[in-house]
Protein backbone atom coordinates (compact mmCIF):
# COMPACT_ATOMS: atom_id res chain seq x y z
CA UNK A 1 0.00 0.00 0.00
CA UNK A 2 1.43 3.38 -0.94
CA UNK A 3 1.83 6.23 1.51
CA UNK A 4 -0.98 8.29 -0.05
CA UNK A 5 -3.34 5.35 0.12
CA UNK A 6 -2.52 4.50 3.75
CA UNK A 7 -2.95 8.12 4.75
CA UNK A 8 -6.68 7.87 4.09
CA UNK A 9 -7.21 5.07 6.62
CA UNK A 10 -7.10 5.34 10.38
CA UNK A 11 -5.27 2.78 12.53
CA UNK A 12 -8.23 0.42 12.99
CA UNK A 13 -9.15 0.51 9.30
CA UNK A 14 -5.54 -0.14 8.31
CA UNK A 15 -5.56 -3.18 10.59
CA UNK A 16 -8.78 -4.45 8.99
CA UNK A 17 -7.39 -3.99 5.47
CA UNK A 18 -4.20 -5.82 6.42
CA UNK A 19 -6.22 -8.68 7.91
CA UNK A 20 -8.14 -8.98 4.65
CA UNK A 21 -4.92 -9.61 2.75
CA UNK A 22 -4.18 -12.94 4.47
CA UNK A 23 -7.60 -14.57 4.75
CA UNK A 24 -6.57 -18.03 3.60
CA UNK A 25 -5.41 -19.24 7.02
CA UNK A 26 -8.22 -17.66 9.09
CA UNK A 27 -11.21 -19.66 10.37
CA UNK A 28 -14.70 -18.97 9.04
CA UNK A 29 -15.85 -17.26 12.23
CA UNK A 30 -13.04 -14.70 12.03
CA UNK A 31 -13.82 -14.07 8.38
CA UNK A 32 -17.47 -13.46 9.17
CA UNK A 33 -16.53 -11.01 11.92
CA UNK A 34 -14.08 -9.27 9.59
CA UNK A 35 -16.78 -8.89 6.93
CA UNK A 36 -19.13 -7.35 9.50
CA UNK A 37 -16.51 -4.86 10.64
CA UNK A 38 -15.53 -3.92 7.09
CA UNK A 39 -19.16 -3.40 6.09
CA UNK A 40 -19.78 -1.20 9.12
CA UNK A 41 -16.75 0.98 8.29
CA UNK A 42 -17.68 1.14 4.60
CA UNK A 43 -21.25 2.18 5.41
CA UNK A 44 -20.01 4.83 7.83
CA UNK A 45 -17.72 6.34 5.20
CA UNK A 46 -20.45 6.14 2.58
CA UNK A 47 -22.87 8.05 4.84
CA UNK A 48 -20.19 10.64 5.50
CA UNK A 49 -19.53 11.12 1.77
CA UNK A 50 -23.25 11.53 1.06
CA UNK A 51 -23.68 14.05 3.88
CA UNK A 52 -20.72 16.09 2.65
CA UNK A 53 -22.03 15.96 -0.91
CA UNK A 54 -25.46 17.20 0.17
CA UNK A 55 -24.01 20.05 2.20
CA UNK A 56 -21.68 21.05 -0.63
CA UNK A 57 -24.51 21.02 -3.19
CA UNK A 58 -26.68 23.19 -0.89
CA UNK A 59 -23.89 25.74 -0.65
CA UNK A 60 -23.21 25.58 -4.38
CA UNK A 61 -19.67 24.24 -4.00
CA UNK A 62 -17.95 21.36 -5.74
CA UNK A 63 -17.56 18.29 -3.57
CA UNK A 64 -14.03 17.05 -4.00
CA UNK A 65 -13.65 14.60 -1.14
CA UNK A 66 -10.77 12.50 -2.46
CA UNK A 67 -9.61 11.25 0.95
CA UNK A 68 -12.95 9.80 1.94
CA UNK A 69 -13.50 8.31 -1.51
CA UNK A 70 -10.04 6.74 -1.40
CA UNK A 71 -10.81 5.33 2.04
CA UNK A 72 -14.08 3.88 0.76
CA UNK A 73 -12.32 2.31 -2.24
CA UNK A 74 -9.75 0.63 0.01
CA UNK A 75 -12.46 -0.71 2.33
CA UNK A 76 -14.50 -2.00 -0.62
CA UNK A 77 -11.45 -3.80 -2.03
CA UNK A 78 -10.78 -5.42 1.35
CA UNK A 79 -14.44 -6.36 1.69
CA UNK A 80 -14.45 -7.91 -1.79
CA UNK A 81 -11.37 -9.99 -0.98
CA UNK A 82 -12.85 -11.25 2.26
CA UNK A 83 -16.32 -12.04 0.89
CA UNK A 84 -14.79 -13.80 -2.12
CA UNK A 85 -12.81 -16.08 0.18
CA UNK A 86 -15.83 -16.69 2.38
CA UNK A 87 -18.08 -17.54 -0.56
CA UNK A 88 -15.37 -19.77 -2.04
CA UNK A 89 -15.23 -21.73 1.19
CA UNK A 90 -19.00 -22.05 1.42
CA UNK A 91 -19.51 -23.04 -2.20
CA UNK A 92 -16.79 -25.61 -2.70
CA UNK A 93 -16.02 -26.61 0.83
CA UNK A 94 -16.24 -30.06 2.29
CA UNK A 95 -19.13 -29.05 4.53
CA UNK A 96 -21.63 -29.15 1.69
CA UNK A 97 -20.66 -32.63 0.58
CA UNK A 98 -20.54 -33.88 4.18
CA UNK A 99 -24.05 -32.59 4.78
CA UNK A 100 -25.26 -34.31 1.62
CA UNK A 101 -23.60 -37.56 2.66
CA UNK A 102 -25.17 -37.36 6.12
CA UNK A 103 -28.59 -36.78 4.60
CA UNK A 104 -28.16 -39.70 2.24
CA UNK A 105 -27.16 -41.97 5.16
CA UNK A 106 -30.15 -40.84 7.22
CA UNK A 107 -32.58 -41.58 4.38
CA UNK A 108 -31.00 -45.01 3.91
CA UNK A 109 -31.27 -45.82 7.65
CA UNK A 110 -34.88 -44.72 7.73
CA UNK A 111 -35.73 -46.93 4.75
CA UNK A 112 -34.05 -49.94 6.40
CA UNK A 113 -35.89 -49.70 9.71
CA UNK A 114 -39.49 -50.93 9.78
CA UNK A 115 -42.02 -48.30 10.63
CA UNK A 116 -44.10 -48.69 13.78
CA UNK A 117 -47.80 -49.14 13.05
CA UNK A 118 -49.23 -49.07 16.57
CA UNK A 119 -50.78 -51.73 18.82
CA UNK A 120 -52.26 -54.92 17.39
CA UNK A 121 -55.60 -54.37 19.09
CA UNK A 122 -57.30 -51.30 20.53
CA UNK A 123 -57.59 -52.31 24.18
CA UNK A 124 -55.32 -49.69 25.66
CA UNK A 125 -58.21 -47.59 27.01
CA UNK A 126 -61.19 -49.52 28.37
CA UNK A 127 -63.24 -46.34 28.78
CA UNK A 128 -64.81 -44.85 31.92
CA UNK A 129 -65.27 -46.90 35.08
CA UNK A 130 -68.60 -48.68 35.29
CA UNK A 131 -69.61 -47.51 38.77
CA UNK A 132 -68.80 -43.95 39.79
CA UNK A 133 -67.15 -43.29 43.11
CA UNK A 134 -69.77 -41.71 45.39
CA UNK A 135 -67.25 -40.62 48.04
CA UNK A 136 -65.77 -37.75 46.03
CA UNK A 137 -67.34 -34.39 45.26
CA UNK A 138 -69.35 -34.03 42.04
CA UNK A 139 -66.78 -31.52 40.78
CA UNK A 140 -64.00 -34.08 41.14
CA UNK A 141 -62.09 -32.03 43.69
CA UNK A 142 -60.43 -34.05 46.43
CA UNK A 143 -61.56 -33.50 50.04
CA UNK A 144 -64.46 -31.25 49.00
CA UNK A 145 -67.29 -33.69 49.77
CA UNK A 146 -69.28 -31.34 52.01
CA UNK A 147 -68.43 -28.08 50.28
CA UNK A 148 -71.68 -27.81 48.29
CA UNK A 149 -73.77 -27.97 51.44
CA UNK A 150 -71.48 -25.48 53.20
CA UNK A 151 -71.73 -23.01 50.32
CA UNK A 152 -75.52 -23.35 50.25
CA UNK A 153 -75.73 -22.62 54.00
CA UNK A 154 -73.46 -19.56 53.85
CA UNK A 155 -74.03 -17.09 51.01
CA UNK A 156 -75.46 -19.27 48.36
CA UNK A 157 -74.00 -20.58 45.15
CA UNK A 158 -71.06 -18.65 43.83
Q: Is the pLDDT of residue 131 over 50?
A: yes
What is the pLDDT at residue 1?
A: 47
Q: With 80 as the cut, is the pLDDT of residue 129 above it?
A: no
Measure the CA–CA gap between 79 and 34, rounded to whole angstroms.
8
Residues 6 or more apart whose Cβ sits within 8 Å of residue 34: 16, 19, 20, 23, 26, 82
Mean pLDDT of 70-95: 85
pLDDT of amino acid 146? 62
Q: Is the pLDDT of residue 105 over 70?
A: yes
Q: What is the mean pLDDT of residues 119-139?
A: 65
pLDDT at 138 exceeding the cut of 80: no
Q: Residue 135: which pLDDT band, with cuts at 50, 70 and 90? A: low
Residues 35, 40: Cα–Cα separation, whole Å? 9
Amino acid sequence: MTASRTHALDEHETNLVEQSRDVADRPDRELTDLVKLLRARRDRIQRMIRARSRSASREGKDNIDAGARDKKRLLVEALDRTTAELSRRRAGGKNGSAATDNLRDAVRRKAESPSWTGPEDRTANPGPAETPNRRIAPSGALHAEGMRAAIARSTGDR
